[in-house]
Amino acid sequence: MTVLREICGYWPENSLPAREFLQRSGFPESRIKLYERYFGFSRIRVSEEDDTTRQLLAAARGLAGLRGNGHRVRYVLQGRTMPVGAPYPHSTVHQVRDALGLHGAHAFCVTQHACASGLLAVELAGRLLAADGDPQALALVLTGEKVFTEGARVIPDTGVMGESAAAVLVGLSGPGDRLLGYATQTCGAFEDGMDMTQEAAEAFQEVYPKVLADVIRSALAGAGLAIGDIDLILPHNVNRLSWIPVLRELGMRGADRLFTENIAEIGHCFGADPFLNHVSAREAGRLIPGSRYVMTAVGLGATFSAMAFEHGK
């Protein structure tokens, strides 16, 4: 069984108003207010000094369970949104592996699910560990990226990108959060992502709530659960407004079980969102032993994913 042994986040200290990035992208004041008042974006964490390697290292070094257990780590996976994260021949995931001294681990990236690649990496890590047959083996999953261009800072009518990162220690047993169910669905009709035509973008917005709700229900069904059994949803930080029709599709009244507090403070941090939300929800006392929760992510392209967990010690 796949277990999230530990999750640690890295938040850059530098926090800037989201409207600065929206202004740089040419958004008028009326659109900026839409992002602030309805989408929920206020400030964005950015790190001008740190590159992706240093940010991921900062997150990984916060994992107490990694200290003294490097010899047990068989895999280091980076769940990446962007297909290219560094100029050739540099490899962020290999740099992190080597800096941590995990020389016996296989290191590679998964990118095919865009912002949902972090969840894919967790699922894949569990399958690889199970196939190895060593119940004491571990995998390290890394998520979070830098924004290399101003054009990639803002996703129109969706979100403003931040630069926080997360590290997840995955095992097959022991204390932690048990994976109960995983579901994913790719809608290839929207493969153009940010380059979609206006017609395709409108069609995507129309199917988005139903597909995401269906994927959440599928992940829960795999665990023998229903939406009423869930204490919390840890979402991707796209925007608050997009969740209203999703909650309606799920039959949920109100957003009291949806954790959106980080949207205003850190923005949409690529594939790291649900893991960063886990850290914040745990610190806020929203996750206690026995809590059942769902992590979600949607990657442009378009891949919808959800994972159901039971929170442990």
What is the full DSSP assignment across 214-228? HHHHHHHHHTT--GG
- pTM of the entire predicted model: 0.95
CA angle 29–272–267, rounded 5-degree value: 15
Which fold does the domain 3-171 belong to in CATH?
Peroxisomal Thiolase; Chain A, domain 1 (3.40.47)
2-59 per-position pLDDT tens digit: 999 999 999 999 999 999 999 988 999 999 999 999 999 999 999 888 899 999 999 9
Element (H, E) at 8: strand 3-10
Q: For strand 303-310 and strand 292-299, is the pairing parallel, antiparallel, or unpaired?
A: antiparallel
Q: Strands of 177-286 (E only): list them.
A: 177-186, 232-234
The DSSP symbol for 92 reads H
Joined tokens for residue 55 = 């940010």
pLDDT, residue 90, reads 77
The pLDDT confidence band at residue 194, using thresholds 50, 70 and 90, is low
For 10, the 3-state DSSP assignment is strand
The residue extents of the domains of the chain are 3-171, 177-310
Give the burial class of 60: count Cβ atoms within 10 A of its Cβ; 0-12 exposed, 13-18 middle, 19 or more buried: buried
Q: What is the CATH code of the structural domain delimited by 177-310? A: 3.40.47.10
259-300 per-position pLDDT tens digit: 999 999 999 999 999 999 999 999 999 999 999 999 999 998
Domains 3-171 and 177-310 share a fold: yes
Greatest extent of the chain over all pairs of C-alpha atoms, in Å: 57
For 20, the 3-state DSSP assignment is helix
The pLDDT confidence band at residue 236, using thresholds 50, 70 and 90, is very high
